[in-house]
Amino acid sequence: MVKMLNAAPDHAALVAWVNEWVAICEPDALYWCDGTNTEYYNLCEEMVQSGLATRLNSKLRPDCVLFRSDPSDVARVEARTYIASEKQEDAGPTNNWIDPKQLKAEMLALYKGCMHGRTMYVIPYSMGPVGSNIAKIGVEITDSAYVVINMHVMTRVGNDVLNILGKDGEFVRCIHSVGKPLENGAKDNGVWPCAPMDKKYISQFPETREIWSFGSGYGGNAILGKKCLALRIATVQARDEGWMAEHMLILKLTNPQGKVKYVTGAFPSACGKTNLAMLIPTIPGWKVETIGDDIAWMKFGKDGRLYAINPENGFFGVAPGTSMKSNQNAMLSCRKETIFTNCALRENGDIWWEGIDIPLEEGEKLIDWKGNVWEKGKVDADGKEVKAAHPTARFSARAKNCPAIAPNWEDPAGVPIDAFLFGGRRPSTLPLVYQSLSWEHGVMIGSSVGSEVTAAALDVKAGTVRRDPFAMLPFCGYNMGDYFQHWLDIGKKEGAVLPKIFCVNWFRKTADGRWLWPGFGDNSRVLKWIFERCDGEGEAVETPISYMPTLNAIDRAGIEDEVSEADMKELLAFDKEGWVKEADMIEEHYKKFYRLPKELADQLAALKARLAK
């Protein structure tokens, strides 16, 4: 008999669905989450007492806890992530596909009795401000208190959501289990619960708007409002309903005269996306504020403009490399009320990671992410340096605690978008910034974005570009060729007032490996030109690849010694030979997509024709 810890809501379909999973998973108890601070802190304390969490020094990190996951459960597992559409071709060439009937049969066998000895938590949550017409509601069932507290941080959880849902509202159904039942009174004893890798599944069923996750307790594998709903399911909803769900930051840019523009941006990993969302400008009088650092949902308003919300409530940030120098606002965001995962622990009860730029005391013992005493300079059996924090160590921080958060970041109507940015890590060929010649040309830019990787990194030929279209490769819930078409269709909407599209590249280098652009706060200088171009201003010249800034269009006041005129010439040069090769690489990239829209093939042909002149 399942112990009912509190009352169920008055929503017959929701209660019936939960009861179905109670019968399958066989938990000891059932708890409906209310989203209160009391609930959050009680669960944190329970996990501290059980040994699963460590409470950090309350003076240094008030209300913060640290978790250490199992070494097999430290990141997204793309090989175990599935888009189970009814037809394989609808999943497309970039997704793992399994027949949904087969997949559900496999997973139901795993779910049977999987919550023995555990509490089943039911988490009603809103992606986006509660009640916004752009927001969506999900309900996640889980047996992980770690998931519950992360959902508190990353989404809006609780009774307010149930009130919006009412007695018959629609919701995305999300089921999750760590996949480790506790039999005969057993306990976790402070050991991270999860299943072996071959039993891990992160499955999306687009047609039925369902998410089934099993075996992992980490990050987006388990916190199902994040990538699973916010992108994989939402992209399908957006396609069907005529809006956009994108892997994009949203920032608010204000010039010295008080004029405001809103910019979104999509960047592959390790390209400075969060840094840009929380940027501190170096140009006097300019201001950047954060709306969101990772995901943007956009719908057309009555005026024809695209209005965006940040569907999340927090930041799930990568810790290593984050410091007061690289991202001051991110560091300040996680100073309190934060969940840390797989970071190192200092003797003073604070966290630490590589690149945090905080020196350790002489002789200080550090506890690494596996719970062992860390020795600086120690190498493993393969000769690689043992890291104190895992490379994907994370912090779950509340957006409200970010000093740069915009006052209107939770506006349920969203904010009107003026510009889309795309970018990657490209040491050559791509200029510092350029503007698309048209919407269709901009879609081609987004569809071919990527980062250059080294041979050492991926055992491939140096100079190879790893393409990540729209930074959506792991996150698009349907055929990516159809996704490209959806972008093109957005551009054809009658009465649409479309954002301008730009590509940026902060990562240009000289032949001897010197960075040509300082990046970080000085990226505000590029944003200034983009701001001006949105108003039809800003000096530019048309080239075969785009509209590009003239030599003096980017404000270099104060950094002339760091970025010379010669540097700017190289940063803004049109490299014809490089672009001929780039066009050939894009053509090869497009061969992967068997539903590639004709408009993109035409755009590529037009680029090649311009380059041939």
Other Cβ atoms less than 10 A from the Cβ of 554: the count is: 21
- Reference 144, options 121, 125, 124; nearest CA is 121
Give the whole-angstrom CA distance, residue 211 versus residue 233: 8
The answer to whether residues 549 and 540 touch, using CB atoms and an 8 Å cutoff, is yes
CA angle 167, 171, 173 (to 5 degrees): 120
Token pair of 248, please? Answer: 């994009």
Q: List beta partners, residue 306.
A: 300
In degrees to the nearest 10, what's the CA dihedral of 254, 260, 266, 269?
Answer: 20
Cα dihedral 335, 340, 344, 349 sign: positive
Q: Which amino acid type is present at position 299?
A: K
* Structure tokens given for 81: 């992530």
Query: Which residue shows structure tokens 């980062």?
Result: 451
CA distances in angstroms from 76 to 202, 218, 222, 237, listed in the order given: 9, 8, 10, 23
Question: Rounded to 5, what percent of the chain is helix, strand, coil?
Answer: 30, 20, 50
Using CA atoms, how far apart are residues 226 and 310, in angstroms rounded to an integer? 12
Q: What span, in angstroms and rounded, lies between the C-alpha atoms of 563 and 559?
A: 6
Token couple for 57: 């020094």
CA distance 242 to 38: 39
Query: For 100, which DSSP code?
Result: H
3-state secondary structure 156-172: EECHHHHHHHCCCCCCE
**Taking Cα atoms as reference points, which of 326, 292, 321, 506 lies closest to residue 404?**
292
**Residue listed under structure tokens 């649409």:** 496
Element (H, E) at 220: helix 219-222
Q: Please name the amino acid found at residue 112.
A: K
Query: For 181, which DSSP code?
Result: -
Residue pointed to by tokens 């160590």? 393
d(CA 311, CA 297) in angstroms, rounded, equals 7
- The two beta strands, 344-345 and 351-352, are antiparallel
**CA of 82: how far to CAs of 39, 88, 91, 111, 136, in Å?**
33, 11, 9, 17, 22
Show which residues are catalytic.
271
